[in-house]
Structure 1
């Protein structure tokens, strides 16, 4: 079914972020339709983890993709930088405007059926820019995407944890700054290497930083280890010793303040 959806798109451009959904879609489309029919575009931004950009570049070289790396320009948009509840709308609107200038046909995203029930202002931006969602059209949920990735021999990609952009770690209303996002990326990368948790999020809040870990990892830490971890997080994030750092259990979307489906832009 997914192959039929893609074949009906003609020439296409895929927004590839470096996550499991868009990476799998890019590989599948490239292998199904061929190099001439598909181009991938990756937006380089402080909000994109360095590991995601590296992953895209490695896979593009391995698969032989036609890849363009661009600046989508969201950091020049004060509506995005102000970090309102619907920040994602402005981010995606800038991205899709950029892709429209580069596109050779349909613009595709890696949105899957599981995403449709979440608070995702970016889907409104996608609709306004006529972006297609092949996984949704083919009835694919996240689990189906992971199965497809494994079937294609993309085991490492199939096991990637969900990881929204770094700006999603900043509490609603706190201005988006590149230095904060770099600090978030550095903290999360260090914790992943040191503790190998199932989930980690470094949240920027008005009260300081919150490092959220999956329950198993958090429960495994002694009080001494927690104190040392908080101290190292302050150092890596690059702020003074008085910065409050709390270790907490992971809660999806906890940086949002009163997220409500149906919010206006």
Structure 2
């Protein structure tokens, strides 16, 4: 069954979509809104406002949802306390997703909505993704995964719809920038956000600022290494002014989920 048919089967009734504003959930929302017009149903786009994600992302999600014609809702959460992830446990993603999507289900119930969709895709199954267990336990639906769509295919399809986020870099929660069993705090995560925003402003595409105590390990695309060297002094100065002593460039380059490599090997 193709993606259009999969989404259509859910839109015979009102649905709620967990909406981050990234390419996966934006494509899903776009196609759901189109289907809702055929069935005269409603689509709620729910964005979770959290300190583990840059504030700007929630603002962008609101704008996109309204442009696409969805009914936008925001849920404010504090995962560090609510989900019990202050010490960045290995199952952090599971605990966090379970906590946040439980809040989404509560909102859906209050609105009389029984079907919740979210944007997990086929590539997510190839990496350490404990949050998928929470999605399954809470009985959310993943149309992109049902259609076996990869990230590349999702970006291509988003491009055919002229979605402005078609080539938007992925941006997982800021807790992923810290080693497991590291005490998380909002001040440190805001610093990570500042570093990555700065690097994006410098013209780098995929960026991760991995924190190891007083050392920052930068991951960028390998073809941007020379550009990084050209801007080395400015980058080092910016990061050291945030209070870090050492700034390094990871010679393996950008790797999504690089903190999970040892876990995947076990």
TM-score, normalised via structure 2 length: 0.88
1:68 and 2:73 are equivalent in the alignment: yes
Matched with 1:180 is: 188
2:248 to 243, 246, 249: 246
1:109 and 2:118 are equivalent in the alignment: yes
Q: Map residues 151-230 of structure 1 onto 2, 5 A cutoff.
A: 151-154=160-163, 156-194=164-202, 196-222=203-229, 225-230=231-236
CA deviation profile, 1:123-161 (whole Å, cap 9, x unmatched): 01111101111011122221221122112121x211112
Cα distance in 1, alignment partners of residues 222 and 264 from structure 2: 26
2:36 to 23, 33, 36: 33
The verdict on how the C-alpha distance between 1:114 and 1:56 changes in structure 2, with shifts beyond 3 A counting, is same
Range moving further from structure 2, 15-24 or 54-63: 54-63
Please identify runs of 4+ aligned residues in structure 1 that moved more than 4 A.
Answer: none
Superposition deviation, residue 99 in structure 1:
0.8
SS in 2 for 1:46: coil
Given that 2:7 and 2:31 are in contact with CA atoms closer than 8 Å, whether structure 1 keeps it comes out as no
Matched with 1:127 is: 136
- Structure 2: where are the runs of 5+ without partners? none
Matched with 1:49 is: 54
CA deviation profile, 1:18-60 (whole Å, cap 9, x unmatched): 2110111112111221484211110111111233212212112
Range moving further from structure 2, 22-31 or 54-63: 54-63
Range moving further from structure 2, 93-102 or 245-254: 245-254
Matched with 1:84 is: 89
Superposition deviation, residue 200 in structure 1:
1.0
Superposition deviation, residue 208 in structure 1:
2.1
- Structure 1: where are the runs of 5+ without partners? none
Superposition deviation, residue 89 in structure 1:
0.5
SS in 2 for 1:75: helix
Given that 1:72 and 1:94 are in contact with CA atoms closer than 8 Å, whether structure 2 keeps it comes out as no
TM-score, normalised via structure 1 length: 0.88
Matched with 1:99 is: 104
Cα distance in 2, alignment partners of residues 47 and 211 from structure 1: 19
The alignment of Structure 1 onto Structure 2 pairs a total of residues equal to 255
Considering only aligned residues, what root-mean-square deviation do their CA atoms show, in Å?
Answer: 2.0
Superposition deviation, residue 257 in structure 1:
7.0
Cα distance in 1, alignment partners of residues 158 and 23 from structure 2: 8
